[in-house]
Structure 1
Amino acid sequence: MRPVSGWRVLFVALGLVLIVLCACGSESACGPGAGVVSRVVDGDTLVLQSGERVRYLLVDTPESTGGKHECFGSEARDFNRSLVEGRNVRLEYGEACTDRYGRLLAYVSVDGREVNALLAREGYACVYYVAPAGGSRRSEFEALESSARRAGRGLWGACSAVPCSR
């Protein structure tokens, strides 16, 4: 039987440390990497069971709260609710962690589908870019909005005046 070299022990130990770190890596520098959605605020904001408020990156849905009910706001809120409320979601952060209201800024995924992109693709949202948050994916979301607009999907076909248009 050959003796185990010190290098081999070191590499095995480092490998085990990396496995443990990856298993615990649901946190990022910005916040949690996952969580259960306790409630949907509106079409582009949710609250996790842990209390964090999350604002979806790169999308803006018509308002449906605070006495302000814009065209297609209720539909956007209901669509968002149908996708995430009570569900475990994954959060991926962009170039900025929070907005001026202290909400986490994230791409939100459920069952392998990114909700932010679905909102834009299906016409529930307009692109909303505030530098630097989302800069790396801005053109992708602008293309999704453009496609929904051309097809008259969602708010683009239902609203005479699109509430979030520029």
Structure 2
Amino acid sequence: MKIFKWVWITLLLFLWGCSSLSEWEFDPNAKMVSVKVIQIVDGDTIKVNINNQEESVRLLLVDTPETSHPKLGKQPLGDEAKAFTTKMVENADEIKLEFDQTKRDKYDRLLAYVYVDEKSLQEELLRHGLARVAYVYEPNTKYVDEYRTLEKEAQKKRIDIWQWENYVQRDGFKPEFAGKSNRKVRCSDFTTSAEATAYMKRYDIQGMDGDQDGIACENLP
């Protein structure tokens, strides 16, 4: 009888301990975890399901224009950044979060690098000119150098958030500067004709298709 009593007490303590683990991160050494995306909040924030628990996730080291900020409202290209993130994740086979040193911000959101079928969401947003490098705080700086390189490449091409001078500033985005495009692109900004053609068609850029056959920068591979 005493043995049964101690077994029962031990089981209760175990169950209580499991239920008290309000966070799924019961493994302090966990660096990456698979998740299911349940909502796209905006370009740099998503909601996911981890072990049947809903979590808000803020993408580390990047910032996209707002879509419905209580103070800032909707900013130019915020919807485009959100649509880009949505398109990347909606048909993905696997979404993973990679953590740095600090897992949560002051709003209790998870801080993570997000991978969509092993492709970095942060890198794709930066590469397409839909995000800036921002909120760089130690010790969560693992990929900051790589991200800044991609940011500079997008700046050089003057695509999306970089198309307007002074729209992107150190403290965020300034809608008052979003106006007429100042894109000045050259074939040397691209590595392939296909890349240049896609860019030309997306932004309706003139002067990149000399013989008007629908293919830009035909001197490129």
- Identical pairs, percent: 34
- Give the whole-Å Cα distance in 2 for the aligned partners of 1:65 and 1:89: 25
- Give the whole-Å Cα distance in 2 for the aligned partners of 1:107 and 1:139: 14
Aligned residues: 139
Counterpart pick for 1:78 among 76, 83, 102: 83
Contact 2:44–2:58 (8 Å) recurs in 1: yes
Contact 1:124–1:155 (8 Å) recurs in 2: yes
- Give the whole-Å Cα distance in 1 for the aligned partners of 2:143 and 2:36: 25
Stretches of structure 1 that go unaligned for 5 or more consecutive residues are 1-25
| Corresponding position: 1:151 with 2:157 | yes
Stretches of structure 2 that go unaligned for 5 or more consecutive residues are 1-24, 171-221
* Residue in structure 2 matched with residue 57 of structure 1 by the alignment: 60
Contact 2:31–2:100 (8 Å) recurs in 1: no
Which letter does structure 2 place at the counterpart of 1:61? T
Structure number with larger C-alpha Rg: 2
- Give the whole-Å Cα distance in 2 for the aligned partners of 1:160 and 1:27: 46
- Give the whole-Å Cα distance in 1 for the aligned partners of 2:135 and 2:75: 20
- Give the whole-Å Cα distance in 2 for the aligned partners of 1:69 and 1:161: 18
Q: What is the TM-score of this pair, normalised by structure 1?
A: 0.75
Contact 2:126–2:154 (8 Å) recurs in 1: yes
C-alpha RMSD of matched pairs (Å): 2.2
Q: What whole-Å deviation, never above 9, does each CA across 1:34-75 have from its counterpart, x for those lacking one? A: 111001000000001331111001100000113511111110
Q: What is the TM-score of this pair, normalised by structure 2?
A: 0.57
* Residue in structure 2 matched with residue 134 of structure 1 by the alignment: 140
Which letter does structure 1 place at the counterpart of 2:146? E
- Determine helix, strand or coil for the equivalent of 1:94: coil
- Give the whole-Å Cα distance in 2 for the aligned partners of 1:27 and 1:143: 35
Change beyond 3 A, Cα 1:47–1:85: farther
Contact 2:45–2:56 (8 Å) recurs in 1: yes
Q: Which has the higher strand share?
A: 1
